[in-house]
Amino acid sequence: MPDPDLGSSFGTGRRASGQATCSSYAAGHAVHPVRLQLSDGSPDDAWAPAVVMGAVGDVLTVACGTELRRYRNHDAGRVVDLVAAVGPDAMLNLRYGLLFLHAWPREPGSVFCLQPADEPPHPCR
């Protein structure tokens, strides 16, 4: 069932063109390599199957079981582009706030750091 707050599901979560590359490892920004390694050792209950539903601005909507969850990612447009290419199925690491699209590990750039959308966003740096 589509989320009425999303408008047209994919293609809306674009970063402003010309924006400099972000070097922040804060929640919702780049994936820190240590978080990635730690998530690999996470117990089974730290993982949840998820479906990326779409994005509006920097907010992604992710279906996790029967819940719709919203998360910020500073590059939501890239998430949307990859979802269009590889499909919406993903795994969510709840402990470390990482979203793994099913292109992982073939596509190393298919892991995204998430921040709950109800928290104020951290600025890019």
Provide mean pLDDT across the span 83-103.
96
Confidence class of residue 18 from pLDDT cuts 50, 70 and 90?
very low
Q: How many separate domains does the chain show? A: 1
Cα–Cα separations (whole angstroms), residue 96 to 6, 20, 30, 45, 56: 26, 26, 13, 12, 23
HEC sequence for 65-84 = CCEEEEEECCCHHHHHHHHH
Q: For residues 90 and 44, what is the distance between their CA atoms, to the nearest angstrom?
A: 15
In a domain? residue 77? yes
Confidence class of residue 19 from pLDDT cuts 50, 70 and 90?
low
In a domain? residue 15? no
* Residue whose pair of structure tokens reads 């907010």 in the numeric block: 59
In a domain? residue 6? no
In a domain? residue 31? no
